[in-house]
Amino acid sequence: MREVPRELKVRSWKPLEEVRKLFREMFQRHLSRLMELKGRGKPVGWFWACSPTELAYVFDVVNVFPEQYSAYCASKGASDKLIDVAIEYHYGEFTCDYLKCSIGSILNSEIAPLGGHCGMKPDFVLDSRMACYSGHHAMSEVFANLYSNLKRFIIDAPFWTEDKIGKIEFPAKKPEKISKEDYDFVVTQLWDFMHFLEGLTGEKLDEERMKRVFEVAEKTSRNLIEIADLMISKPTPMSQMDYRGFPLIGFYITAADYALEFTQEVLEIIKKRVKRGEGVAEEEKLRLLSQGIIPWYSELYKYYEERGVVFPLNLYVEDTFCLIESSKPLESLVRRSMSLWNCDADTWIESVLRRAKRADLDGAILFENTGCRLFSYGLRRFKETLWEGLGIPSVIVEAPQCDPRGMPLERAITKINAFIESLL
């Protein structure tokens, strides 16, 4: 019988300080790489989630990520002004926050962190329609309109229906099948992109280098998946405040040495913690699933972990992972586009439910990301599925990923607390 406290008490919160330190160091190394390559006159590319970002390491181009820049702005409390700039210019109020932040940093770079322009002005943008139409394809068009000399290179992947790929293993993103047609369609475009990069850099593709880069990517991706599996342990070993930094790696920098080293070290730390039976919360009162893009400005996770409510399964973070196989590099890049956003729900739901079962969950918090249609339109259905499939109740919280005014902490907590009371 669970005790029924009237409110959750604050207890000892044990995030992994070491992980935080290592993350900062890794990020510094990433920035150094960017500056060094820029200094050598290498072209600057803007890349999106689920795109073939490993190729940036094969061709040594500067890889900048508007989405990650926007998340950074939000975590630094600088996103709201940038969003307002975009809205004043009459971009849709309900378009993706990443778009509005990025645009704000371009139109009004003086008030944007890191000098605006998402950190560095682009020479090209890889317009990958491999996750969402709006987030990536439409945004790339906007950038091509704002920067007159921007080279906008399009890669288009199919929308992966159950017909096309059967069921899919999550988070490795291994489908039951891919047709030759679909495979050839995407891979030909990947080759076109590589030729484009050859033209831009003036350097031919180095196959040996590509092999090495993908070997690093494979190791990193395996580490990430292992970390995800360890997060499901009881007690869950790492805070979401740290785990939420992992999409940077999963989406964008698996091929980097500094990412591999980071994941290796973190994996060791977590393994040790799991062995000791130690978790982020002194005592786990509730174990919840988290779905939806994390509101980057918010300390919601910390608030709940301090009170013994933990998040062993974060579907959003896990969805940024993908098993890269160095023996099949191009196929891996194709599989990367099989994220939650670019697959119909029936393909991945079974795999997700199996994971959720292993995680021994009491409930779920679903973030309804304002402006993200692919996520938000399917959220209530996902809520029904969790209930019908696993008896897991959920609460939906309105949460734009970068605009703090959409989810004032007190309001979110009131709603979630009411939900939690019903679970206890």
Partner 1 sequence: MKVDVQAKDLIDYIEKEFGGEAAKTAKEVHERGGKVLGLVSWNIPEEVLYAAGVLPFRLFGKAQLIEKAHTYLPSWSCSFSRRCLEEALSGEYDWLDGLIASKLEDTCIALFYLLKHILKPKFSYLLQIPVLKSELSKEYFVKEVLNLKNRMEEFMGTAISDDDLRRAIKVYNENRRWLKMLYKARKREDFPLTGADVLKVVILSMTMPKEEHSKVVRKILEEISELRARRRQESNADKKVKVHVSGTEVTDLEILQIIEDCGAKIVSDDLNTGTTYFWNEVDEGRDPYDALAEHYLFKVPNLLMSKQLSRAVDERIEYIRSLVEEFEADGVVFLVDRGCEVMGFAYPHLRDGLRKLNIPSVRLDLDYPLPREHYVTRMRAFVEMVRERSA
Partner 2 sequence: MYGIGIDVGSAYTKAVLARIIEDGQVEVVVHDVIPTKPDMRKCVREIFERTLKMGGIAKEDVRAIVGTGYGGKIVQLEVGGSIASEITCHARGAKYLFPNCKGVIDVGGQDAKAIKLDDEGRVIGFEMNDKCAAGTGRFLEVMSKVLDVGIEEFGEIYLKTERRASITNTCTVFAQTEVISLISQGVPKEEIIAGLIEAFASRVAGLAKIVGITRDVVASGGVAKSVGFVKALERRLGCEIWVPKEPIIVGALGAALLALK
Q: What burial class does residue 169 get, using C-beta atoms within 10 Å of its C-beta: 0-12 exposed, 13-18 middle, 19+ buried?
A: middle
81 binds, among partner 2, partner 1, none (CB under 5 to 8 A by kind): partner 2
Q: Which is nearer to partner 2, 79 or 220 (CB)?
A: 79
Minimum distance, C-beta of residue 414 to partner 1, in the bound complex (Å): 19
Q: How far is the CB of 364 from partner 1 (least distance, A)?
A: 17
Q: Which does 152 bind (CB under 5 to 8 A by kind): partner 2, partner 1, none?
A: partner 1
Which CB atom, from 77 or from 115, has the smaller least distance to partner 2? 77
The least distance separating partner 1 from the CB of residue 302, rounded to whole angstroms, comes to: 26
Residue 406 DSSP symbol: G
- Angstrom distances, CA of residue 414 to CA of 122, 407, 420: 42, 11, 10
Stretch that binds partner 2, among 77-85, 129-137, 206-214, 270-278 (CB under 8 A): 77-85
Rounded least distance, CB 410 to partner 2, Å: 8
CA distance 418 to 6: 11
Closest C-alpha to 97, from 398, 344, 411, 412: 398
> For 93, how many CA atoms within 13 A lie in the half-sphere containing its CB?
1
Among 7, 18, 36, 88, binds partner 2 (CB under 8 A): 88
Residue 405 touches partner 2, criterion: CB under 8 A: yes
Phi–psi pair at 119, nearest 5 degrees: 110, -40
From the list partner 1, partner 2, none, pick the one residue 134 interacts with, judged by a Cβ distance below 5 to 8 Å according to partner type. partner 1
Q: Which stretch binds partner 2 (CB under 8 A): 80-88, 167-175, 224-232, 329-337?
A: 80-88
Q: How far is the CB of 195 from partner 1 (least distance, A)?
A: 12
Which is nearer to partner 2, 82 or 157 (by Cβ)? 82
Q: Is 81 in the site for partner 2 (CB under 8 A)?
A: yes
Residue 88 contact, options partner 1, partner 2, none, Cβ 5-8 Å cut-off depending on partner type:
partner 2
Nearer to partner 1, 274 or 293 (CB): 293
Is 89 a binding residue for partner 2 by CB under 8 A? The answer is yes
Minimum distance of partner 2 from residue 144's CB (angstroms): 21
Contacts (CB under 8 A) with partner 2, residues 91-150: 93
The partner in contact with residue 87, picked from partner 1, partner 2, none with C-beta cut-offs of 5 to 8 angstroms by kind, is: partner 2
| Helix ranges restricted to H, 167-206 | 180-201
Positions touching partner 1 (CB under 8 A) are 89-95, 99, 129, 132-134, 137-139, 141-142, 144-145, 151-156, 158-159, 161, 181, 185, 188-189, 192, 344-345, 368, 370-371, 373-374, 376-378, 380-381, 398
User: Could you tell me the two tokens for 260?
Assistant: 């591999």
SS3 label, residue 398? strand
27 vs 303, which CB is nearer to partner 2?
303
Q: Give the whole-angstrom CA distance, residue 368 versus residue 307.
A: 23
Nearer to partner 1, 154 or 205 (CB): 154
| Pick 5 or 408: Cβ nearer partner 2 | 408
Question: Site residues (CB under 8 A) for partner 2?
Answer: 80-81, 83-84, 87-90, 93, 405, 408
